[in-house]
Structure 1
Amino acid sequence: MRRHTRTRKPRGASVVGRRFEVEVGPVAHGGHFVARADDRVIFVRHALPGEKVLVELTEGTEGDKFWRGDAIEILTASPDRVAAPCRYAGPGLCGGCDFQHVALDAQRDLKAAVVAEQLRRVAKLDVDVTVEAVPGDVDGLRWRTRQRYVELRGGGRGMRKHRSHDVLPVDECLLEAPTGPSYEVRGRGFEVADGGFWQVHPGAPETLVEAVLEALEPQPGESAIDLYAGVGLFSRFLADAVGPGGRVAAVEGDPEASRLSERNVPGVLARAGDVAAVLAGGLPPEWDTADLVVLDPPRVGAKRAVVEEIVRRRPRAIAYVACDPAALARDVAIFGEHGYRLRTLRAFDLFPMTHHVECVALLETGGAELRRGDSG
């Protein structure tokens, strides 16, 4: 989730350090807010819509179309502004949290606005989005069951600043959970490699499994393909639902995770490799059709090659688990080209205090698209 500054050719003199008084506009994807000054868009962190703030530019040159900056002084505060619980959150400090200055309910409203805006702009869908709280954190804190620090020379530890390699020494991160992850979900234990992927919010595995099963409604005897399957979280419960008369295939890029999925999901057909390539020729012929698909790609999304391999199999339902609203909207639009419509959408606050949000979208063929006012 950490982003570093990209090196690019300057387009004129640097504007870093310049200051402007601005009125802050809407939230944008990425944890910042839109403002304007000197005929430029400024993406501002540590602000809120409707506030008047003093912005200090942190990135940009005179020829850029947009600049980046931090709100270093709040001239008129939003009613949704709160004191950040962490002393390392703020301009020039730790880059891990975008929204510690925002009341928790308002954080979720901001995330809902971003998901809705991406679907409207990219997929041309007008969807009413609600971001649901998930049990397992403490008022938005103490939920990261896995946490990485930068080890400092001479001892101590630190966190990186926003879009930077610079390290800020810290005593603790308030997002860090008091215990590590539990690999048991619904009474089923999972083997996970050291450092292997597992949802970091303690409520995430149960919540996502429930949302996927509710969306797909798997029936005994059906066939299901779990893509980007990890160690088989969704495969395990799909296998239970389709029963001995059904079948489940799990496709995963990491060979170790794929191997573990075979141990975690008895009877699964596990394949390791690039997902698009496996779908194109790495599964037995009987898997050229499937009733159900679970799609849980990394932040970049599935992209066209994977989407088109899925729709070639004409599943009756697809559950798309997405951690990036922009990638989700792009892929929903591609599915739409092939007749698959967004039926339901649920969004979950699995990353409180940050701009990140998780969605579970159901796509099916025929009928009308999900529209504003429809329940997800």
Structure 2
Amino acid sequence: MNEKPDWNGRRLRLEVGPVAHGGHCVARHEGRVVFVRHALPGETVEAEVTEDRGGGFCRADAVRVVEAAEGRVTPPCPLADMALGTNRCGGCDWQHAHPATQRELKASVVAEQLWRLAGIEHPVEVQSLPGGALRWRTRVRLAVDERGRVGFRAHRSHRVVPAEDCPITVEGAVDQVTSSSWTPGSEVEVTADASGELHVSEHLPGGAPARGKRRRSGAKPSRTRKVRGSGVAHETAAGREWAIAAHGFWQVHRQAAERFAEVVDDMVEVPPGGCAWDLYGGVGLFAAVLGNRVGDSGDVVLVESARTSVRDATANLADMPQVRLREGRVEDVVADPTMPAPDVVVLDPPRKGAGRNVVGAVAGSRPRRVVYVACDPAALARDLELFQRDGYRLIRLEAFDAFPMTHHVECIALLEVAD
């Protein structure tokens, strides 16, 4: 009987192959697949194996570049320096790649996922958002180590890498909390809103440890204390002012909400007096766009399960009586036979996607158009494959680099009923 291989800690010389979904590239060594972080397609690197469970693949981190690709640059963040080896911050995937190269890699991933999971061949170009690749992030959650120092977790680990600043986060956000000492095992959440106010909360570990005892690593915080800020974030998008829970859902890129609202507005084409569904509607950003489209005589049904978001949407859209809120799980609400037949459906599901039941209910209601906002290309492709089975086809796809330096990419897809 063959023993399972164990390459943990081993250093491998690898010829790096194509990019894969998840912030790494694919290489092969001695018949096994190696998922390599901090490498680029076409490079030759020395990589240290960081995770090997004995199957057909393992994970590794590039620790030395033998032959560099054209798109490689010096990381702007010291915590992404290759000299740190496997002790790098786990927050960013592509600090070593030029921003244009990052967008090319993300476009390749989106196109590959569409083809592999949905059989869709569609051109993909990932567009940048205004402001560049640094200082775009307005919301961030940090971890606190056992010495009370704040930082970010290492990749696929609970280990905290202490930080002084974060160059992808807006100036004055992270460095305002890294100079202080915090409760070991807690998490610190920071929001810098459009008005310039900084909101900071500490999420404390559940239960106090016995005197002299150390808290279990990775224990989930359960109590929150407000450290700074009013607790109400003020944002601007879609021609409106928004007042929302400081750490509630809002796009983390400072330009994303406005740009996404513009694209959705261009795609929906719902007529005045028409009906629209806004599924996973959050605080109502897209419902506001739809409300303007259908007018006072129209009907927009916003469906959201998070109570805080429903409360904020109710307050922010109080001047739009054409928008009705339904609090509940999307899969339950769309199955309600009293839901009005929509002309268009906008959905912005969580990272896992909408899934078979929601897609089936949406397609069964037969809207002329579906606008799907996705933060994960694999989930998007799986759901598009389901829509295809129900008679819809992809006619337009807009992709955005809303998370520079990371592997994440935002897509907005327009589907129509096939002829």
In the superposition, the TM-score normalised over structure 1's length comes to 0.91
Q: Are residue 143 (structure 1) and residue 143 (structure 2) matched? A: no
**Alignment partner for residue 76 of structure 2, among 77, 85, 88?**
85
Q: Where in structure 2 are the equivalents of 1:23-102 lying within 5 Å?
A: 23-61=15-53, 63-89=54-80, 90=82, 91-92=85-86, 93-102=88-97
- Mapped contact 2:5–2:55 kept (Cα < 8 A): no
Q: Distance in 2 between matches of 1:161 and 1:154?
A: 17
Contact 2:244 2:283 (8 Å CA) reproduced: yes
Report the alpha carbon displacement of residue 288 of structure 1 after superposing the two structures with TM: 4.0
Check if 1:201 corresponds to 2:253. yes
Does the CA contact (< 8 Å) of 2:238 and 2:289 recur in 1?
A: no
Q: Is there any run of 5+ residues in structure 1 with no aligned partner, and where?
A: 1-10, 368-376
User: Aligned-pair distance for 1:30?
Assistant: 0.1
- Shift, 1:348, TM fit: 0.3
Native 8 Å contact 1:191 1:231 kept in 2: no
Alignment: residue pair count: 351
Say whether 1:279 aligns with 2:334: yes
| C-alpha contact (below 8 Å) 1:226/1:293 kept by paired residues | yes
**Does 2:233 match 1:242?**
no
Deviation, 1:14, is 3.0
- Identify which of 164, 170, 192 aligns with 2:157: 164
The Cα offsets for residues 189-213 of structure 1, whole Å up to 9 and x where unpaired, read as 1221131100010110111011111
Greater mean deviation of Cα atoms: 329-338 or 258-267: 258-267
Query: 2:328 and 2:246 mapped to 1: Cα distance?
Result: 20
Quote the offset at 1:147 in angstroms.
1.6
User: Following TM superposition, by how much is the alpha carbon of 1:155 offset from its aligned partner in structure 2, in angstroms?
Assistant: 4.2
Query: CA offsets, 1:339-375, max 9 Å, x none?
Result: 01001000001000000000000011124xxxxxxxx
Q: Is the 8 A contact 1:181 1:200 kept in 2?
A: no
Amino acid of the structure 2 residue aligned with 1:290: P
Give identity over the alignment, percent. Answer: 49
| Secondary structure at 1:347 match in 2 | strand
* Cα RMSD for the two superposed structures: 1.4
Name 1:373's counterpart in structure 2: none
Report the counterpart of residue 123 of structure 2 in structure 1.
Answer: 128
The correspondence of residues 180-259 of structure 1 with structure 2, limited to 5 A, is 180-182=192-194, 183-259=235-311
SS in 1 for 2:245: coil
Corresponding position: 1:298 with 2:310: no
| 3-state DSSP of counterpart to 1:333 | helix
Q: Could you tell me which amino acid in structure 1 is paired with residue 122 of structure 2?
A: V
Please say if residues 252 and 272 of structure 1, whose CA atoms lie closer than 8 Å, have aligned partners that are also in contact: yes
Q: CA offset at residue 186 of structure 1?
A: 3.5
Q: Of 95, 113, 120, which residue of structure 2 is paired with 1:118?
A: 113
- Decide whether the 8 Å contact of 1:251 with 1:272 is kept in 2: yes
What residue number does 1:19 align with?
11
- Higher mean alpha-carbon deviation, 153-162 vs 234-243, is at 153-162
The structural deviation recorded for 1:156 is 3.1
| Per-residue deviation, residues 121-148 of structure 1 (Å, max 9, x unmatched) | 000011110000111x3x3011110122
Q: Deviations over 1:69-94 (max 9, x none)?
A: 01111000001000000000144210
Q: Which amino acid aligns with 2:106?
A: K
Q: After the TM superposition, which segments of 4 or more aligned residues of structure 1 sit over 6 Å from their partners?
A: none
The higher-RCO structure (CA 8 Å, 6+ apart) is 1
Higher strand share: 2
Q: Is the 8 A contact 1:55 1:70 kept in 2?
A: yes
Q: Which residue of 2 aligns with 1:4?
A: none
Q: Which residue identity does 2:161 align to in structure 1? A: L
Question: In structure 1, the residue corresponding to 2:363 is in which secondary structure?
Answer: helix
Gaps of 5+ in 2: 173-191, 195-234
The structural deviation recorded for 1:18 is 1.2
Residue-by-residue CA offset, 1:139-171 (whole Å, 9 max, x unaligned): 301111012222345543111000000011111
Task: Write the deviation string for residues 277-305 of structure 1: whole angstroms up to 9, x where unpaired.
Answer: 11112xx72x3411011010010000000
Shift of 1:314: 0.4
